A and B are shown apart, each in its own frame.
Chain A
Amino acid sequence: MTRPDNREASHLRAMHCSLGQLNRADGSAQFTAQNTSVVCGVFGPVEAKVYEEKLDRAVVEVKFRSDIGSSTTKDKWVESAIRSTFEREILAHQHPRTLVQINIQLRESDGSVDSAAINATSLALVDAGIPLKSMISAATCAVLSDDVVVVDPTQEEIDAARSVHTFAFANPVSDSNKQGPLYVDSRGNFTMDEYNHCYDLCVLAAERVLAFMRTAIEGKVTKEAKINTT
Chain B
Amino acid sequence: MVETGQAAAAVAMQTFERIHPVEFQRRFLGQNTRHTGREFNQFRALKVIKGAISTAQGSATVRLGNTTVVCGIKAEVCEPDVKRPTAGYLTTNVELSPMCSARFRAGAPSDEAQVASEHIYRLSMHLLDLTSLCIESGKAAWSLSADIVCLKHDGNVVDAAVIALVAAIEDLRLPRAEFDSATGVVSADKEALGHVDVKKRLFPATFVLVDDLCVVADADDAEEQMATASLLVVMDGEGKLVNLWKRGAGVISREAVEQCVERARERMSEIAKVLD
Which residues of A come within 8 Å of B, CB atoms? 73-74, 76-77, 79-81, 84-89, 176-192, 195, 199
Contacts and interface: CB of A to CB of B under 8 A. Distances in A.
Interface residues of B, number: 31
Contacts of B261: 192
Interface stretch (B140-148, B184-192, B249-257): B249-257
B241 A192 contact: yes
B253 A186 contact: no
Contacts of B243: 185-187
Interface stretch (B18-26, B49-57, B109-117): B109-117
Contacts of A191: 240-241
Given A84-B247, A180-B256, 8 more contacts: A80-B247, A84-B249, A176-B254, A180-B251, A180-B257, A183-B246, A186-B241, A186-B245
A191 B233 CA distance: 12
B236 interface: yes
Nearest to B230: A84
Contacts of B111: 76, 79-80
Nearest to A165: B244
Contacts, number: 80
Nearest to B112: A80
Interface stretch (B70-78, B118-126, B154-162, B171-179): B118-126
A182 to B, nearest CB: 6
B249 A180 contact: no
A88 B228 contact: yes
B258 interface: yes
A85 B241 CA distance: 23
A87 B249 contact: yes
Nearest to B258: A192
Contact of A84 (B244, B248, B254, B256): B248
Interface in B212-242: 228, 231, 236, 240-242
Nearest to B262: A192
Contacts of A183: 246-247
B247 A195 contact: no
Contacts of B244: 184-186, 195
Contacts of B122: 187
Nearest to B110: A76
Contacts of A192: 241, 258, 261
Contacts of A87: 248-249
16 contacts: A73-B114, A77-B118, A80-B111, A80-B115, A80-B247, A179-B251, A179-B253, A180-B251, A183-B247, A184-B231, A185-B245, A186-B241, A186-B245, A189-B236, A189-B240, A189-B242
Contacts of B245: 184-187
A205 to B, nearest CB: 17
A177 B252 CA distance: 10
A49 to B, nearest CB: 15
Contacts of B121: 73
A180 B252 CA distance: 6
B254 to A, nearest CB: 6
Contacts of A73: 114-115, 117-118, 121
A127 B275 CA distance: 52
B113 to A, nearest CB: 9
Listed from nearest, the 7 A-B pairs whose CB atoms lie closest are: A88-B249, A184-B246, A84-B247, A186-B244, A77-B118, A73-B118, A76-B114
Contacts of B251: 179-180
A48 B82 CA distance: 46
Contacts of B114: 73, 76-77
Nearest to A178: B253
Contact of B126 (A77, A89, A176, A189): A189
Nearest to B255: A180
A76 B240 contact: no
Contacts of B258: 192
